[in-house]
Amino acid sequence: MTVVSPHGAEDRRAEGGPSSNDASRLTELLQRAPVIPVVVIEDAPCAVPVARSLVAGGLPIVEITLRTAAALEAIGSVAAEVPEAHVGAGTVLSEEQARAAVSAGAKFIVSPGLHGGVVSAASELSVPVMPGVTTPSEVQCAWNLGLRVLKYFPAGLAGGIPMLKALAAVFRDVGFIPTGGISAKNLRDYLEVPSVIACGGSWLTPSTAIADGDYEEIRRLAAEAKAIANESKE
């Protein structure tokens, strides 16, 4: 499954352009490590050691949510100081937030729902966007916007694996990233669903571990998830 930009199949702007690079890199990383840590940063200086711990554990994609005042600074710090991490912005609710996140250094956009302004801004800024969907109507709307990779949220409450399989039977060229209710206990079950290209979750970066500076625990959780992902491919 290739991560695509909206309003078309795969973005074919000038070779080396930002969208081509970011989408290709995101696709490559998802194939290698199909787990996306969803990170809430309350204190911006914590972002860099958290990102480095995730990378050390085998998870190079880092989604920092715009749920705190420190989020944009955190994204900028990771983009500048952890080049091996592919950092993006999550919980993007508006066009203005999307623009601010990309300006800070975000290489992809994730939102909890489907909003035309966010999708349009991401397209204009040439970054991949993965909006959240729950219902067939939302998936169909996203499909008609040219999107083929969607966040399925909140996965556990919205029907879980049975619902994903039902949606995939209709939207056969759509890949899903279930988020919400995912943990090490059910990660493999979700990754073994053919339409699932990756899973996202906040269990990888517990707030207590971040607050305590327990970055070894974050590395351990990332390594555990990477191992589960590897097993699911066998």
Phi/psi zone of residue 89: left (φ > 0), alpha (ψ -120 to 50 degrees), beta?
Answer: beta
Q: Which of 10, 73, 138, 151 is catalytic?
A: 151
Nearest to 190 by CA among 229, 137, 145: 229
ω into residue 154 within 30 of 0, thus cis? yes
What is the 8-class DSSP label of residue 91?
A: S
Helix (H, G, I), strand (E, B) or coil at 87: strand
Helix (H, G, I), strand (E, B) or coil at 34: coil
Q: Which of 15, 42, 63, 73 is catalytic?
A: 63
Residue 171 to residue 174: CA distance in whole angstroms: 6
User: What phi, psi does 159 have (nearest 5°)?
Assistant: 125, -10
Residues 45, 61 contacting (CB under 8 angstroms): no
Q: Is 231 annotated as catalytic?
A: no
What six digits make up the tokens of 76? 């900028």
Nearest to 112 by CA among 191, 43, 51, 200: 200
Question: Could you list the active site residues?
Answer: 63, 151
